[in-house]
C-alpha cells in the first residue's frame, strides 16, 4: 500500500512538473540525420556538432524553447537513410534537421512528403532535394544557384574569358553546379575552352590539367570538394601552370587538410557563405565554442547546421508549435511559417519561398598567405 | 608536344602500377594465391611515411626506410597468421581470407588515422619540376621511373643469382619437389611476402608523392588496377608485371586524353577482359598444364 | 528413401516453413500495428538481401567460383526496373502497381541474366581465380557506364543517350547520369519480396538437387575428374552463374523500386563484399544459412547503430576467422575431436530411445 501511495505521489509530482514546465518552455524534439560514420562522416559530424552547439546555447538561455536533439546516422546511404528516418520518428522526433548529403536527403524527403514530416536540410544542395516536395527547405544554396552565381561573378569582375571546367561526373553536387555554370557562362559571353571529368577514385589529374593548359584557359573552374581540388593544384604547380582557380563552397576546408602545402592554394578564389576566419562577433563566438568542444575549426556545414537550429526555433515560434504536437501537425504549420520568417545567421540573412530554396547572398573570398580574404 | 606530355604522364603512372604489380605477381608465382591485401599494405606504408615526415620529423630517407621496415613486418605477419594455416585449402578460401585481410587493414587505418584525407608532405621526391624545352616533368615522375628500373634490375639479379632467389623459382615451379630437395617452403614464401611488402612501402611513398592525398582507401583502386596489370603482363612473371604495369598506365592516360575522361577506368578494365579473352595467360605468362 | 535423400527433404521443408512462418508472423504484426516503423521500413530491403545472398551462394558455395560483382548485377536490375516501371507509367499509362512491379522485376532479371551470360561465356572456360577478377572489373565498368547514361521518356518513347545529355523536348528523365535513377514511384511491397524469396528458394534448391546440381558440385570438387566422366563443365557452371545473375537482377529491381531514387554508389565493391559476408557466415553451400545470416546482418546493424563504426572491422575479422576455422586441417581435426564425443552421446541417446 505504501508503495502504491509513493508511486502515486511520484506520478503527481511528475505531472505537476511537466505542467509547470509547459508554461515556461516548449520542448522541440529535433532529429539530426547525417552520415556520422563512413566515408562522408566529415560532413555529418560537422552538421551534428554545429547543431549541438546551437541547441546548447538555446537550452542555456532558458528562453521560450528547449531543444531535445536526437541523432541518427545515415552512413551517406540511400537505403540506410530511410532506416535512420524511421528510427528518428520512432524516437519521437517532431521535425528533421537534415539530411546532410543530397542523395539520401532526396530519398528521405520523398518519404517525408508522403508521411507529412518537415525537413530542413543544412547542406543537401541538389535541386532534387526540394523538387516536388513542399516539406523540404534548404539552408545552403542550390547547386544551380552556385553555378550561375560563379559565372556571373567571373563575368562581372572581368577575371578572364577562357575557362576550363573540371568536374566529378559521378557526383550530383559537382555535375549540378557544372550544368548551370556552363549555361550561364554561355549567356555572359565566357568561352569554355576545356571540359574534363573525373570520378571519386581518380587521383591522376595530369590529363585534365594538361587539357586546360593546352587550350589556354585563364580560369579553371573547380566545382568539387577540396580533396580532388588539392590534387589538381599540385599537378598544375608541377606543370608550371598558374591560371586563376575558382572554386565553390565545397572548396572550404582545403586549408585545414593535414600536411597540405598552403602555398599551392595561393590566389584560389571561391564563393562561400561562411568562412571561419571572419571577424564578426557571431562567427568568432561560434568558432571559439566549436574549437573548445571539438578541437577543430568548423567548416561551412557546421555553420549551416548551427543556423538550422535557430531557423527551426524561429519558425516554430511563428507557427506556435507545442511539445505534444505530432510530426504531421507540425509539418504544415512549419511550411507556412518558413515562408514568413527571415533569419540573420552565420551564413548570411536568409528568407525562403514556397519552393523551399533559400535566398541569401554569397561572398567571394581569395586565399592570400594561407588565409581567406574578402574583397 | 601534347602527345609527349601524355606519354610521360602515362609512363609515370604505369611505373607505379608496375611496382605494385610486382608484389602481386611474386606472391602469385610462389604462393599461388591472390594477395588481395597488397594494395592496403601500400596504404599502410604511405601512412607510416606520412607520420615519419609530418609528426616525427624524420628525414625523408629514414621515413621511407621506416615504412619499408613496418610493411615488411606486416607482410610477414599477415602471411604467417592468415595465409599459412590455409596452405592446403582451396583457392576460394584463400581469396576470401585475403579480401577479409584487405578490409581489416583499411578499417584499422580508419581507426588510427581517421577518415579525413591527409596531404602527403613535400620531400626531395616531389620537389621542383624539371623543364626540358616546353615539357615540364615533375620530379616525382623522374624518381618513379628511376625506382622502377632499379627495382626491376635488382629483382631479376636476385632471382637469377642468389640462393634465396633460386629457391623462390624452385618453389614456384613445383612446391612438392622443392620441399623434397630440402628447400624450406614456408621460409621462402615468408621471404616473398617480405620483399613484396617492402616494395609496397616504396610504391606507397611514390604513389603519394605523385598524387599527394592519403586516405584509408588510397591503396584499393591502384591495387586493383595494378593487379589488372599483373594479369595483363602474365601473372607470375616479373618482366610481365613491369611491361603490363607500364602499358596499362599509358593506356589509361591515352584513353582519358584521346577517348574520354568519363570512361578512363572502364577502358582499363575492358582491357583486362579483352586480354583474358584473347590470351588468358597474359603477355608473358606461360600456359600451365594441370596434372591429375 | 535413402537417408541422404530424407535429410535433404527435411532440410528443404525446414527452410520453406521458416520463411513462410516469418512472413505470416510479420504480416500479422503489421496488421495489428505492433511493428516499429524502423523494422517495417526494412522489410523489403531484407527480402532483397536474402535473395542476393542465396543467389551468390549458388555461385560460391555450390559451383565453387568467386564472384565479386554481384552488386553490379543488382545495379543492372535496379536501373532496368526503374526504367521499365517509369516507361510503363508514362507511356503505357499502366496504373496497376502490382503489374508494373512484376514486369519490372522480370525485365531486371532478364537484363542481368544476359549480362551474366556475356561475362560467363569467355570467363568460365578459364581456370583459377579469373571469375573473381573479371566480375570485379565488371562491377567497376557498370558503375562507370551508368554515370554517363541518360534515359528519358517523351511521347511514349524511350530516349537513350550516352556521355552527354541530348534529350528531346518535354522529356521526363528516368535515369539522369550521376544523379542516378530519379523520381521513381515506389511500388515494392513486402509481399512481393516474400514471393521473390520463395521463387529464389524453389529455383536454387531445385537446381542443387537436380542432375545439373550434382554435376555442378562434382565440378566444384574435382574439375578434372568430372570432365573425364563426360560432364560438360562449362555448361553447368554457366547455368549456375547466369541463374544467380538473373536472381540478383530481380532483387535489384525490387530494391530500386522500393525507394524514390537509386545511385551508382549504392552498388560498389563494398556492397558485393557485404553479400559475400552473408554467404560465408551462413555457410558456403548452405541455403538456409544464407537466408538467416542475410536477415540478421541486415537487422542487427540497425539495432546496434552506435557500433556502425566497427561493423566493417568485425566483418573483416569474421571473414578471416571463418575461413581459417573451416579450412585448416589442424583446427578442423581439433574441433572434430571436441565435437565427436558430444555427437556420440547424442546419437547414443537416440539409439537407446529407438530400442526402448
DSSP code per residue over B170-203: HHHH-HHHHHHTT--HHHHHHHHHHHHHHHHHHH
- Separation in Å, CA B289 to CA B160, C41, C130, C134, C224: 24, 53, 16, 22, 12
Tell me: pLDDT of C353 over 70.
no
In chain B, where the domains are located = 16-121+137-218
Residue B280 and residue C136: Cβ atoms within 8 Å? no
Q: Within this chain, do residues C178 and C317 fall inside the same structural domain, yes or no?
A: no
What's the CA gap between A24 and C176, in Å, rounded?
50
Tell me: pLDDT of C332 over 70.
yes
Residues of A with CB under 8 A from a CB of B: 38-39, 41-42, 169, 196-199, 201-204, 206-208, 210-211, 214, 227, 230-231, 234, 238-240, 257-261
Q: Within this chain, do residues C315 and C352 fall inside the same structural domain, yes or no?
A: yes
Q: Within this chain, do residues C290 and C354 fall inside the same structural domain, yes or no?
A: no
Confidence of residue A23 (pLDDT cuts 50, 70, 90): low
* Structural domains in chain A plus CATH codes: 2-141+281-359 (3.40.50.2300), 144-272 (3.40.50.2300)
Domain range spanning residue C246? 3-303
What's the CA gap between A247 and A151, in Å, rounded?
11
- Separation in Å, CA C20 to CA C29, C200, C202, C300: 14, 13, 13, 21
Residue C163 and residue B107: Cβ atoms within 8 Å? no
The closest CB to that of C261, out of A73, A107, A175, belongs to A107
Residue C163 and residue B260: Cβ atoms within 8 Å? yes
Residue B118 has φ and ψ, to the nearest 5°, of -115, 150
Tell me: pLDDT of A274 over 70.
yes
* pLDDT, tens only, C53-78: 999 999 998 888 888 889 999 999 99
Query: Is cis: bond before A99, omega within 30 of 0?
Result: yes
Residue B257 and residue A211: Cβ atoms within 8 Å? yes
Residue B217 and residue A39: Cβ atoms within 8 Å? yes
Q: Check residues C170 and A73 and name the one with the higher pLDDT.
A: A73
Q: Within this chain, do residues C334 and C264 fall inside the same structural domain, yes or no?
A: no
The contacts found for C231-234 with CB under 8 angstroms, 24 or more apart, are: C234/C124, C234/C125
Residue A123 has φ and ψ, to the nearest 5°, of -145, 5
Question: Looking at beta carbons, which residues of chain B come within 8 Å of A199?
Answer: 265
Q: Within this chain, do residues C295 and C342 fall inside the same structural domain, yes or no?
A: no
Q: Return the pLDDT at B43.
A: 96
Q: Return the pLDDT at A21.
A: 46
Q: Return the pLDDT at A374.
A: 76
Q: Nearest CA to C112 among C248, C269, C275?
A: C248
CA B283 and chain centroid, separation: 18
Mean pLDDT, all residues of chain C: 86
Query: With 0-12 CB in 10 A as exposed, 13-18 as middle and 19+ as buried, what is A242?
Result: exposed
Angle between helices B2-31 and B163-173 (to 10 degrees): 80
Residues 150-189 of C with CB under 8 A from B: 163
The alpha helices in chain B, defined as continuous H runs, are 2-31, 38-54, 60-78, 91-113, 139-161, 163-173, 175-180, 185-210, 220-233, 238-254, 264-278
What's the CA gap between C32 and C173, in Å, rounded?
39
User: Residue holding cell 555457410?
Assistant: C283
Q: Within this chain, do residues C89 and C230 fall inside the same structural domain, yes or no?
A: yes
What's the CA gap between B37 and A304, in Å, rounded?
40
Query: With 0-12 CB in 10 A as exposed, 13-18 as middle and 19+ as buried, what is C229?
Result: exposed
* DSSP reduced 3-state for C161: strand
Partners of A225 in the β-ladder: none
Q: Within this chain, do residues C350 and C209 fall inside the same structural domain, yes or no?
A: no
Interface test with A, best of C30, C34, C35, C37 (most A CBs within 10 A): C37
Among B62-66, C257-261, C273-277, C343-347, the range scoring the smallest mean pLDDT is C343-347
Q: Is B292 on the interface with C (CB under 8 A)?
A: yes
Q: Nearest CA to A63 among A313, A364, A332, A330?
A: A313
Element (H, E) at A371: strand A371-374
CATH number at residue C130: 1.10.3470
Pairing of strands B135-137, C157-162: unpaired
Q: Within this chain, do residues C23 and C107 fall inside the same structural domain, yes or no?
A: yes
Residue A224 has φ and ψ, to the nearest 5°, of -165, 175
Q: Nearest CA to A321 among A26, A23, A18, A22?
A: A26
Beta strands in C113-178 (DSSP E): 149-154, 157-162, 172-176
* pLDDT, tens only, B158-168: 988 999 999 98
Tell me: pLDDT of A39 over 90.
no
Q: Are A50 and A303 in contact (CB under 8 A)?
A: yes
Tell me: pLDDT of A111 over 50.
yes
Question: Looking at beta carbons, which residues of chain C come within 8 Å of B276?
Answer: 122-123, 126, 130, 134
Element (H, E) at A112: helix A102-115
Question: Looking at beta carbons, which residues of chain B come within 8 Å of C312?
Answer: 103, 106-107
Residues of A with CB under 8 A from a CB of C: 37-38, 72-73, 75, 77-79, 82-87, 89-90, 103, 106-107, 110-111, 126, 128, 132, 168-172, 174-176, 199-200
User: What are C324's three cell numbers?
Assistant: 581459417
Q: Is B63 on the interface with A (CB under 8 A)?
A: no
- Segment of B163-167, C50-54, C84-88 carrying the highest mean pLDDT: C50-54
Residue B54 and residue A259: Cβ atoms within 8 Å? yes
Q: Within this chain, do residues C108 and C228 fall inside the same structural domain, yes or no?
A: yes
Q: Within this chain, do residues C283 and C329 fall inside the same structural domain, yes or no?
A: no
Among A1-10, B283-292, C111-120, C273-282, the range scoring the smallest mean pLDDT is A1-10
Q: How many residues does the structure list for chain C?
A: 356
Interface test with A, best of B8, B226, B256 (most A CBs within 10 A): B256
ipTM of the complex: 0.85
Tell me: pLDDT of B38 over 90.
yes
Q: Within this chain, do residues C13 and C56 fall inside the same structural domain, yes or no?
A: yes
Among A170-179, B56-65, C112-121, C306-315, the range scoring the smallest mean pLDDT is C306-315
Q: Which residue in chain C has the smallest CA separation from A199?
A: C144
Using the 3D structure, point to which of C285, C303, C321 is the last residue of a domain.
Answer: C303
What's the CA gap between A277 and B229, in Å, rounded?
47
Q: Are A299 and A253 in contact (CB under 8 A)?
A: yes
Interface test with C, best of A81, A106, A135, A197 (most C CBs within 10 A): A106
Q: Is B96 on the interface with C (CB under 8 A)?
A: yes
Q: Within this chain, do residues C202 and C322 fall inside the same structural domain, yes or no?
A: no
Work out how many CB contacts closer than 8 A connect A with B.
Answer: 92
Residue A231 has φ and ψ, to the nearest 5°, of -70, -40
**b (16+ CB within 10 A) / e for B38-60:** bbbbbbbbbbbbbbbbbeeebeb
Q: Is B138 on the interface with A (CB under 8 A)?
A: yes
Q: Nearest CA to B26 among B162, B163, B200, B246?
A: B200
Question: Looking at beta carbons, which residues of chain B come within 8 Å of A35?
Answer: none
- Separation in Å, CA A174 to CA A48, A70, A102: 23, 30, 11
Q: Are C250 and C65 in contact (CB under 8 A)?
A: no
Confidence of residue C273 (pLDDT cuts 50, 70, 90): confident
The closest CB to that of C41, out of A38, A82, A176, belongs to A82
Q: Is C316 on the interface with B (CB under 8 A)?
A: yes
Query: Measured between CA atoms, how close is A37 to chain C, in angstroms?
Result: 6
Tell me: pLDDT of B50 over 50.
yes
Mean pLDDT computed over B245-268: 89
Amino acid at each position: 500500500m505504501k508503495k502504491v501511495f509513493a508511486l502515486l505521489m511520484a506520478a503527481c509530482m511528475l505531472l505537476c512538473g511537466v505542467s509547470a514546465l509547459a508554461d515556461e518552455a516548449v520542448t522541440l524534439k529535433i532529429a539530426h540525420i547525417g552520415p556520422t560514420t563512413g566515408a562522408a562522416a566529415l560532413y555529418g559530424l560537422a552538421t551534428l556538432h554545429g547543431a549541438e552547439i546551437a541547441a546548447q546555447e538555446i537550452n542555456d538561455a532558458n528562453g521560450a524553447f528547449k531543444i531535445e536533439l536526437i541523432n541518427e546516422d545515415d552512413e551517406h546511404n540511400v537505403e540506410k537513410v530511410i532506416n535512420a528516418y524511421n528510427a528518428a520518428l520512432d524516437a519521437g522526433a517532431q521535425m528533421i534537421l537534415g539530411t546532410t548529403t543530397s542523395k539520401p536527403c532526396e530519398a528521405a524527403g520523398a518519404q517525408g512528403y508522403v508521411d507529412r514530416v518537415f525537413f530542413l536540410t543544412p547542406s543537401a544542395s541538389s535541386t532534387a532535394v526540394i523538387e516536388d516536395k513542399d516539406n523540404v527547405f534548404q539552408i545552403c544554396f542550390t547547386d544551380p544557384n552556385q553555378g550561375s552565381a560563379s559565372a556571373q561573378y567571373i563575368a562581372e569582375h572581368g577575371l578572364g574569358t577562357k575557362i576550363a571546367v573540371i568536374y566529378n561526373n559521378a557526383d550530383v553536387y559537382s555535375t549540378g553546379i557544372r550544368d548551370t555554370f556552363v549555361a550561364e557562362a554561355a549567356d555572359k559571353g565566357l568561352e569554355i575552352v576545356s571540359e574534363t571529368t573525373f570520378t571519386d577514385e581518380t587521383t591522376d589529374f595530369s590529363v585534365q590539367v594538361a587539357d586546360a593548359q593546352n587550350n589556354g584557359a585563364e580560369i579553371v573552374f573547380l566545382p568539387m570538394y577540396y580533396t580532388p581540388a588539392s590534387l589538381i593544384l599540385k599537378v598544375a604547380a608541377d606543370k608550371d601552370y598558374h591560371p586563376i582557380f575558382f572554386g565553390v563552397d565545397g572548396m572550404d576546408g582545403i586549408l585545414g587538410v593535414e600536411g597540405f602545402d598552403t602555398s599551392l592554394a595561393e590566389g584560389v578564389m571561391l564563393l562561400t557563405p561562411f568562412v571561419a576566419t571572419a571577424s564578426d562577433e557571431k562567427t568568432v563566438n561560434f568558432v571559439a565554442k566549436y574549437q573548445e568542444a571539438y578541437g577543430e575549426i568548423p567548416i561551412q556545414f557546421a555553420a549551416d547546421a548551427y543556423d538550422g537550429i535557430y531557423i527551426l526555433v524561429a519558425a516554430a515560434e511563428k507557427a506556435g508549435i507545442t511539445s505534444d504536437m505530432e510530426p504531421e501537425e507540425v509539418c504544415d504549420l512549419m511550411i507556412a511559417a518558413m515562408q514568413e520568417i527571415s533569419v540573420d545567421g552565420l551564413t548570411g540573412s536568409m528568407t525562403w519561398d514556397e519552393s523551399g530554396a533559400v535566398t541569401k547572398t554569397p561572398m567571394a573570398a581569395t586565399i592570400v598567405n594561407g588565409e581567406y580574404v574578402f574583397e | 608536344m601534347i602527345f609527349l606530355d601524355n606519354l610521360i604522364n602515362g609512363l609515370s603512372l604505369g611505373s607505379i602500377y608496375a611496382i605494385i604489380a610486382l608484389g602481386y605477381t611474386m606472391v602469385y608465382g610462389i604462393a599461388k594465391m591472390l594477395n588481395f591485401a597488397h594494395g592496403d599494405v601500400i596504404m599502410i606504408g604511405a601512412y607510416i611515411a606520412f607520420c615519419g615526415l609530418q609528426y616525427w620529423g624524420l628525414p625523408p630517407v629514414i621515413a621511407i626506410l621506416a615504412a619499408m621496415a613496418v610493411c615488411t613486418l606486416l607482410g610477414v605477419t599477415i602471411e604467417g597468421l592468415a595465409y599459412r594455416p590455409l596452405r592446403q585449402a582451396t583457392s576460394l578460401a584463400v581469396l576470401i581470407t585475403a579480401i577479409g585481410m584487405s578490409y581489416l587493414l583499411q578499417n584499422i587505418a580508419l581507426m588510427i588515422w581517421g577518415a579525413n584525407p591527409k596531404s602527403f608532405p613535400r620531400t626531395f621526391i616531389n620537389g621542383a619540376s624539371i623543364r626540358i624545352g616546353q615539357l615540364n616533368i615533375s620530379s616525382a615522375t623522374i624518381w618513379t621511373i628511376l625506382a622502377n628500373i632499379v627495382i626491376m634490375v635488382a629483382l631479376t639479379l636476385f632471382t637469377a643469382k642468389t640462393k634465396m632467389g633460386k629457391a623462390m623459382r624452385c618453389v614456384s615451379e613445383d612446391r612438392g619437389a622443392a620441399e623434397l630437395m630440402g628447400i624450406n617452403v614456408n621460409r621462402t614464401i615468408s621471404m616473398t611476402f617480405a620483399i613484396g611488402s617492402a616494395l609496397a612501402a616504396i610504391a606507397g611513398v611514390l604513389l603519394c608523392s605523385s598524387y599527394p592525398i592519403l586516405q584509408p582507401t588510397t591503396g584499393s583502386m591502384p591495387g586493383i588496377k595494378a593487379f589488372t596489370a599483373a594479369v595483363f603482363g602474365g601473372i607470375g612473371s616479373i618482366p610481365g608485371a613491369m611491361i603490363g604495369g607500364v602499358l596499362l598506365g599509358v593506356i589509361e592516360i591515352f584513353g582519358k586524353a584521346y577517348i574520354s575522361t568519363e570512361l578512363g577506368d572502364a577502358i582499363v578494365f575492358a582491357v583486362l577482359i579483352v586480354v583474358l579473352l584473347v590470351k588468358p595467360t597474359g603477355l608473358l605468362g606461360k600456359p600451365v598444364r594441370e596434372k591429375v | 528413401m535413402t537417408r541422404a535423400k530424407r535429410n535433404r527433404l527435411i532440410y528443404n521443408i525446414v527452410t520453406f516453413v521458416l520463411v513462410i512462418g516469418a512472413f505470416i508472423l510479420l504480416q500479422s504484426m503489421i496488421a495489428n500495428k505492433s511493428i516499429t516503423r524502423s523494422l517495417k521500413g526494412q522489410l523489403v530491403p531484407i527480402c532483397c538481401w536474402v535473395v542476393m545472398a542465396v543467389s551468390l551462394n549458388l555461385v560460391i558455395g555450390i559451383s565453387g567460383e568467386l564472384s565479386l560483382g554481384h552488386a553490379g548485377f543488382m545495379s543492372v536490375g535496379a536501373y532496368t526496373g526503374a526504367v521499365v516501371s517509369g516507361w510503363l507509367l508514362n507511356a503505357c499509362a499502366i496504373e496497376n502497381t502490382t503489374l508494373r512491379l512484376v514486369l519490372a522485376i522480370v525485365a531486371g532479371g532478364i537484363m542481368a541474366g544476359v549480362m551474366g551470360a556475356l561475362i560467363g561465356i569467355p570467363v568460365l572456360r578459364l581456370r583459377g581465380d579469373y571469375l573473381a577478377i573479371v566480375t570485379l572489373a565488371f562491377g567497376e565498368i557498370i558503375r562507370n557506364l551508368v554515370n554517363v547514361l541518360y534515359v528519358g521518356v517523351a511521347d511514349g518513347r524511350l530516349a537513350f543517350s550516352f556521355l552527354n545529355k541530348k534529350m528531346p523536348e518535354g522529356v521526363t528523365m528516368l535515369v539522369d547520369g550521376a544523379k542516378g535513377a530519379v523520381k521513381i514511384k515506389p511500388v515494392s511491397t513486402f509481399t512481393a519480396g516474400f514471393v521473390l524469396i520463395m521463387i529464389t528458394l524453389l529455383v536454387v534448391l531445385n537446381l542443387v538437387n537436380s542432375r545439373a546440381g550434382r554435376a555442378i558440385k562434382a565440378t566444384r570438387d574435382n574439375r578434372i575428374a568430372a570432365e573425364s566422366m563426360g560432364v560438360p563443365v562449362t555448361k553447368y557452371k554457366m547455368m549456375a552463374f547466369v541463374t544467380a545473375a538473373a536472381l540478383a537482377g530481380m532483387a535489384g529491381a525490387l530494391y530500386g523500386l522500393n525507394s524514390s531514387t537509386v545511385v551508382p554508389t549504392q552498388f560498389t565493391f563494398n556492397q558485393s563484399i557485404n553479400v559475400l559476408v552473408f554467404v560465408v557466415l551462413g555457410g558456403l553451400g548452405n541455403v538456409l544459412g544464407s537466408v538467416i545470416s542475410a536477415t540478421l546482418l541486415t537487422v542487427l546493424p540497425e539495432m546496434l547503430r552506435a557500433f556502425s563504426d566497427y561493423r566493417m572491422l568485425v566483418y573483416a575479422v569474421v571473414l578471416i576467422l571463418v575461413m581459417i576455422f573451416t579450412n585448416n586441417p589442424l583446427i578442423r581435426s581439433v574441433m572434430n575431436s571436441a565435437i565427436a564425443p558430444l555427437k556420440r552421446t547424442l546419437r547414443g541417446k537416440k539409439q537407446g530411445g529407438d530400442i526402448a
